[in-house]
Amino acid sequence: GAVVSQHPSRVICKSGTSVKIECRSLDFQATTMFWYRQFPKKSLMLMATSNEGSKATYEQGVEKDKFLINHASLTLSTLTVTSAHPEDSSFYICSAPGHLNTEAFFGQGTRLTVV
Amino acid sequence: QKEVEQNSGPLSVPEGAIASLNCTYSDRVSQSFFWYRQYSGKSPELIMSIYSNGDKEDGRFTAQLNKASQYVSLLIRDSQPSDSATYLCAVKRFSGGYNKLIFGAGTRLAVHP
């Protein structure tokens, strides 16, 4: 099946720094990528949708200047958490959509800890 | 009202029993429904998908869909300790030009020996 590779799997950074998370589709072209965040014992919350060649669309309440999303090519989408703060510590997951009635393909997730 | 609602649990069942997980959704036009299993610190993995009213069986898993009641369930027969995880119900919604997966909060299942 389709594979989405997400890196890094874990990252610890200092407050005020920026962190980039990459998601690559390995054996297919992903024109769209969804980015989720998940707090402990909570559900996946959709943050934004990236689309190759155009600006990302953000869900209500998500700061687009804080969470920069770039879909540079048909196989790479990135999420940059800018000026990270401890409250940004979370599990971030990317997902490429399947067709209407098929599964989505998830990356492995990134555990971000801001200290 | 949340778009996808699940009882957070934990649901505790003995090994070998049937675990029953429930989910309701608010958008009547939803057509695609999914159950994902998520182990701690890992990404979700697809267990079942269901699109038509009725039951769909795959091994020890049975998904049930009732669109009139806006209700989806997952039955796990012969539960094993390895089934202990959080089970996420998800519904596909068309929004902003995309088919998006909307997740419930998940139900934690604990299968004890």
Alpha-carbon dihedral sign for residues A69, B104, A42, B75: negative
- Whether B44 sits inside 8 A of A32 (CB atoms) is no
Reference B61, options B70, B49, B48; nearest CA is B48
Q: Say if residue A40's pLDDT is above 90.
A: no
Give per-residue pLDDT as tens, A46-60: 999 999 888 899 999
Residue A14: exposed, middle, or buried by beta-carbon count in 10 A (0-12, 13-18, 19+)?
exposed
Render B93-109 in DSSP notation, one character per residue.
EEETTEEEEEE---EEE
Give the per-residue pLDDT at A28. Answer: 81
Expressed in percent and rounded to 5, the helix, strand and coil fractions of chain A are 5, 55, 45
Give per-residue pLDDT as tens, A66-98: 999 999 898 999 999 999 999 999 999 999 986
CA–CA dist B111, B113 (Å, integer): 7
Interface membership of B106 toward A (CB under 8 Å): yes
Interface test with B, best of A44, A57, A59, A71 (most B CBs within 10 A): A44
Minimal CA separation from B14 to chain A, in Å: 22
Q: Say if residue A2's pLDDT is above 80.
A: no
Chain B residues with CB-CB distance to A43 below 8 A: 88, 103-106
% of chain A with per-residue pLDDT over 70: 93
Give per-residue pLDDT as tens, B29-82: 888 999 999 999 899 999 999 999 999 999 999 999 999 999 999 999 999 999
Task: Give residue for tokens 């999303």.
Answer: A69
Give the per-residue pLDDT at A99. Answer: 62
Give per-residue pLDDT as tens, B85-100: 999 999 988 887 888 8
Name the residue facing B49 among A41, A93, A103 (closest C-beta). Answer: A103
Interface membership of B49 toward A (CB under 8 Å): yes
Residue in chain B lying closest to A57 (CA) = B96
